[in-house]
Amino acid sequence: MADKELIIYTDGSSRGNPGPGGYGAILRWGTVEKELSGGFRKTTNNRMELMAVIAALEELKKENLKVVIYSDSQYVVKAYMEGWLKNWMRTGFKGGKKNRDLWTRFDALSKKHQLKFVWVKGHADNPYNNRCDELATSAADERNLPADTGYEMQAE
């Protein structure tokens, strides 16, 4: 049981980019599944892709889990797997790198687990990724969405 992996599928969406946005995630531990979603009134697709991962990791009660995250966002996958995030953190996000607030939040969460990212083609034949897309777009379409203060402060 100790070697069991937690599987997470994620997706993010933004209507207009920037515009209303949402994220969706599915956490799978054996036969147990949990769906998560949320939205914001004005944000970007990259922020929602990353927010999906953050929301999923924030759900985890235990630490030092083996976690495999499936995402169709090359931005998120490459930032972690190819070391972009380490460089951004080391240089203090110099050069105007965006989404510092979310990347800093993700970085703290990533240190609690053994993470592996797998890129999946979006809108393809993966039913879990497709369901995450449904969750994300539905969340983006909700009324009275809260502010993505990190984005709105960054955009000013």
Q: Averaged over 139-155, what is the pLDDT?
A: 93
pLDDT higher than 80, residue 99: yes
Residue 72 known to be catalytic? yes
Q: Given a cut of 70, is residue 3 above it in pLDDT?
A: no
Q: What is the CATH number assigned to the segment(s) 5-155?
A: 3.30.420.10
102 pLDDT more than 50? yes
39 near 145, Cβ under 8 Å?
yes
Q: Where are the domains of the chain?
A: 5-155
Annotate 22-56 with b (16+ C-beta within 10 A) or e (fewer).
bbbbbbbeeeeeeebbbbbbbbbbbbbbbbbbbbb
Q: Does the annotation mark 49 as catalytic?
A: yes
Q: Is the pLDDT higher at 4 or at 130?
A: 130
pTM score of the predicted model: 0.94
- Which is the catalytic residue, given 12, 24, 38, 39? 12
pLDDT value at residue 1: 41
